[in-house]
Chains A and B, each alone.
Chain A
Amino acid sequence: MGRTIKFIAKRLAFSVFVLVGLSILIFVIARVMPGNPARMALGARAPEWVVERLREEMHLNEPLYVQYYYWAKGALHGNFGISLVTRRSVANDIKAFFPASLELALYAGIFMGIIGIVLGTISGWYANTWVDNLVRIISYMGIVTPSFVFAIFFVLIFSYVLEILPTIGRLTPGVVPPPSVTGVITFDALITGRFDVFFDALKHLLLPAISLAMGPLSQEARITRASLVDNVQKDYIASERSCGIPERTIMFKYLLKPSLIPTITIYGLDFASILGNAFLVELIFNWPGLSRYGMNAMLQKDLNAITAVVLVLGLVFIIANIVVDLTVGYLDPRIGLGTERSSE
């Protein structure tokens, strides 16, 4: 237990370092942009002195490191400045939009884990049969298809042709959302016992979450299959078979656990692709989440909002990676939490 705590402390310290570095990186990228952010915020018709005053207010006339100092001071207090486009506080916007994105990423992550591992296990168990080949073909297609293409295909099939699943927003218009406890609608609906709302929200989640999960889950399935097929040939499995242990027990008790280690190791990377692709998928499904907010900020060059969104998502990614490392450490005691994860 002591080792785990030490590991977490170490990882957290490292994460702080990475976050500071990341904030500098994003800050520099956002500030090297040609053009005048104050002018952009105020529009072409604002008088020169107003622009100049806003520049003063935003410390844009100071050297870069002074600007960073002011920005970082604000960020530490949870103040990411004012959106240059909507003139609202970026921090409040993020609070408002984050739960929707979190919900989507969470469900996509769950789909990716469960479906990916199940498919991979089936494929590995029936290796070199038609089932295996089918799964492999499907997962190949899943990997090579960008998720915005999945999103468009799903919209086309399920909403226009079959007309069974909604493709816009989080709830059917007219459905009263449950009182906000966590901000994640499905959780709130369960907590308050509103099952009709829960199913409605779930229906809305299904297509965007699966569009996001398709690519990564195919990756997971492939990796799981490969490591299962590798492990089946190991000596310990042969010795278990010779002891007459039923195949099912061997599979679920002895084979699956070590075979899942590579799958979970790349889970972090796959989660990154979910977070990234959410920018496009939320736009297509009109999902009122942080990624759509970020995407709009990017298209309108809203610097403060871009910086904050990237930083928040970077933080989410870092936390996801810590969780992955802890899980891998739990599954494989040999890896040991003290050592760094081997590079991919």
Chain B
Amino acid sequence: MQKKSLTQEELSRRWENIRRNWYKFSRNPLSITGLVMICIILFFTIFAPFVSPYPESAGKFINFYEASQPPSLNHLCGTDAFGRDILTRIFFGCRYSLIMGVTVLLLIVPVGVVLGLIAGYHRGSWLEIVIMRITDIFIAVPPLILALAVCSVLTPSIFNAMLAISIAWWPWYTRLVYGIASSLKEEFFVKSAEVTGANKMYILFREILLNCISPILTKMSLDMGWIILIGSSLSFVGLGAQPPTPDLGSMVADGSKYLPDQWWISVFPAFAIMLIVLSFNLFGDGIRDTLGVERG
């Protein structure tokens, strides 16, 4: 089992693999739509300070002369009660949503996956029992309720909101990987690695983990949308990002006070949330079909 250096042949084989997957992915117009939408969103969020019409609206900014204006050519999505441009705040709000999604995934995927690997590989031992029963306890509360509860005892901030979502969300990765790892454990390639005396780390991370990658990637791309959704729910009730930070959920909440006359304050941020979640869902579905992961 010595480590092989990447030969020319190996490289070209990997390239071929990527090319094939891309072909499969690109055959589905919906997946491509998702990908294109994500790229557009990424463009506008990364370059938000340059492409947004009124970058100063993102921070502490008040302009009562232009307060509560309906959508017009000057303010495509109108302005809020403080006279801040809503389109600008949506660009910056998407930024926080994306950062939140990525951060939460970076926090929970390693933890969840490693715990799942350990529990699955040690099926039948006390390690499995401890890990999986703790997972069961976390899964016994609807995730949004757990996230709300954790958030509420901490000081509301965008970082604590991420922490709360992570606490509520990691068990799903443990479950997913546990299911695969515990069935792979009996496969011949794992057995043969065991017999040849491979070290446990090697078996867990090279043999078993590599075979879990497709479902994990699929789940991650779909979860991006869910995490953003939960994050917006937290900030909707004021437990997420605090003003004046632009955040889609809290923008919807602020605007709902001015319904129905100033509908644009909450409706456009709501559309923005839907658009982000939609694009990640389309993209995630495409990844799932490409990698051949079962639905569910």
Which chain A residues have a beta carbon within 8 Å of chain B's beta carbons? 17-19, 21-22, 25-26, 29-30, 32-34, 140-141, 143-146, 148-149, 152-153, 155-156, 160-161, 223, 226, 262, 266, 272-273, 275-277, 279-280, 283-284, 294-295, 297-299, 301, 303, 306, 310, 313-314, 317-318, 342-344
Closest to B152 in A: A298
CB distance from A105 to the nearest CB of B (A): 11
Provide 25 A-B residue pairs closer than 8 Å at the C-beta atoms, listed in order of the A residue. Answer: A18-B137, A21-B136, A22-B140, A29-B149, A30-B153, A32-B153, A144-B274, A145-B277, A146-B229, A148-B233, A152-B266, A155-B259, A156-B259, A160-B260, A223-B295, A226-B295, A272-B143, A273-B142, A275-B145, A276-B144, A279-B148, A280-B236, A283-B237, A298-B148, A298-B149
Q: Does B238 contact A (CB under 8 A)?
A: yes
- Residue of chain A at shortest CB distance from B177: A343
* Shortest Cβ gap from B261 to chain A (Å): 9
A272-B142 contact given A21-B133, A152-B256, A280-B237, CB 8 Å threshold: yes
Count, A-B residue pairs, CB within 8 A: 139
B96 to chain A, nearest CB (A): 16
Residues in B whose Cβ lies below 8 Å from that of A280: 233, 236-237
Most chain-A Cβ atoms within 10 A of its Cβ — which of B137, B256, B260? B137
Q: With A and B bound together, what is the CA distance between A223 and B294 in angstroms?
A: 12
Q: For A149, what are the chain B residues with a Cβ–Cβ distance below 8 Å?
A: 252, 270, 273-274
CB nearest to B164 among chain A residues: A29
How many chain B residues touch the partner (CB < 8 A)?
A: 48
Q: In the complex, A156 Cα to B267 Cα: how many Å?
A: 10
Contacts of B266 in A (CB 8 A): 152
Q: Is B204 an interface residue (CB 8 A)?
A: no
**A residues less than 8 Å from B256 (CB atoms):** 152, 155, 284
Complexed CA–CA distance, A301 and B270 (Å): 28
Pick from A226, A279, A303, A343 the residue with the most CB of B within 10 Å. A343
A276 touches B142 (CB 8 A): yes
Q: Are B150's CB and A343's CB within 8 A?
A: no
Q: Which residues of B contact A299 (CB under 8 A)?
A: 152, 237-239
Closest B residue to A307 using CB positions: B149
Q: Within the assembled complex, what's the spacing in Å between the Cα atoms of A344 and B215?
A: 12
**Residues in chain A near residue B278, CB distance under 8 A:** 140-141, 144
B148 interface neighbour in A223, A266, A295, A301, Cβ under 8 Å: A295
Residues of B with C-beta under 8 A to A262: 296
Identify which of residues 227-261 in chain B touch chain A, using a CB-to-CB cut-off of 8 Å.
Answer: 229, 232-233, 236-239, 252, 256, 259-260
The complex places the Cα of A83 from the Cα of B225 at a distance, in Å, of 36
Report B-chain residues with C-beta under 8 Å of the C-beta of A145. 270, 273-274, 277
Q: Complex: how many Å from CA A343 to CA B172?
A: 9
B136, B149, B274: the one contacting A310 at CB < 8 Å is B149
Chain B residues with CB below 8 A from A303, complex form: 153
